Amino acid sequence: MPLLQFNLVQGSWTKPQVKTILDLAYDTTLEVFHAPEGDRYQTVSFFDPDYLVMADTGLGFNRSPHRIMLNIRTRPRPEAEKLTFYKTFLAKLQATFDFDPHDLMIDMVENGDADWSFANGQAQFITGEL
């Protein structure tokens, strides 16, 4: 935990590039969220460009087909940790790819311990297993 859900434009990234994006995000969760090693939950969905709409919300920029919409579900985190995650993940993308910072959008949704069941129909944060 956290659960990272990546939304990408179909055909804009190669399979090895997608793997690298996932690895960079995982490394960022270890570094910033202090997630334990092996705590990796990620999904990737691909969309026709017309179905992954990321407007600029009036900020005055355009996005390319390499845009990434990242949805994160996580236990509550301090604001400073969230802001550090945004900057750190972007910096890793920019250091690895010729990545436009306007092409990254991240949203975090917080939830509680009872909202996670990793297996066996139990809430491991509540049972004390995690």
Element (H, E) at 21: helix 15-32
Q: Which of 2, 16, 78, 101 is catalytic?
A: 2
Sheet with strand 68-74: strands edge to edge:
41-47, 3-9, 68-74, 104-110
If phi > 0 it is left, if psi is from -120 to 50 it is alpha, else beta; for residue 106 that is: beta
2 is catalytic: yes
User: Which residues have CB under 8 Å from 36's CB, separation 6+?
Assistant: none
Which residues are catalytic, by number?
2
